[in-house]
Amino acid sequence: MEKYVPEIMGNLRKNIITVPEIISKVSGIKIFGKRIKSILFTTDVAIIKNCNANAIIAVYPFTPQPIISHSIILASDVPVFCGVGGGTTIGKRVVNLAMDAEFQGAMGVVLNAPTPNRVVRMVKDRIDIPIILTVVSINTDFKERIEAGATIFNVSAGSHTPDVVKRIREEFPFFPIIATGGPNDESILKTIEAGANAITYTPPSTSSIFKKMMNDYRQE
């Protein structure tokens, strides 16, 4: 029999972003005693303050800046995984950003797929929080990446994500895997069945939520 879970909401905070319930089927990843199943992919602090995800993955298509990471960590009620570069931003700057993220309270740092193994090793030597290495191709040398210091793989390979997850799981049955779930329950379940331990979910934008709200206001 399924356990009854009491739920408490307030009138002012009931309109939150909820991750798909199917994500609860994953095993989760325990990091510093906290079990992480759902991870919201956003840097929008308004969304971060109004969601039910277990964690936040804060990566963005610009050079990482400490003030952005600090703001997100400060605003978040849940653990944050901070992007620290590895593509355009490389070398000692990545190490410094990773150290800063750890000092500010990040639960882990996220390195981009192009990050050279030497940089992964440099980061590994300087921080004590997990290194989440992004994977975008099935042709990645997973063993080499693990040996360089990757703690968790973050698979983001579009429609090929389940295939990449399955390949990793075949080679490394117990290695932690975060993966993008896709647009619907069916795609999320496919990724879970391939072997993902946690799922990242992209929420609707603030503007799209606001648009619906304004339409409702106009009808009233």
* 8 A C-beta contact, residue 131 and residue 88: no
Read off the pLDDT of residues 99-152 as tens digits, 9 standing for 90 and up.
999 999 999 999 999 999 999 999 999 999 999 999 999 999 999 999 999 999
Q: What is the largest CA-CA distance in the chain?
A: 60
Superfamily of domain 21-219 in the CATH hierarchy: Phosphoenolpyruvate-binding domains (3.20.20.60)
* Overall average pLDDT of the 80-103 stretch: 94
Q: Which of 44, 24, 21, 51 has its CA nearest to residue 36? A: 24
Q: H or E element: which one contains 213? A: helix 206-219
Domain ranges of the chain: 21-219
What pLDDT is stored for residue 210 in this prediction? Answer: 81
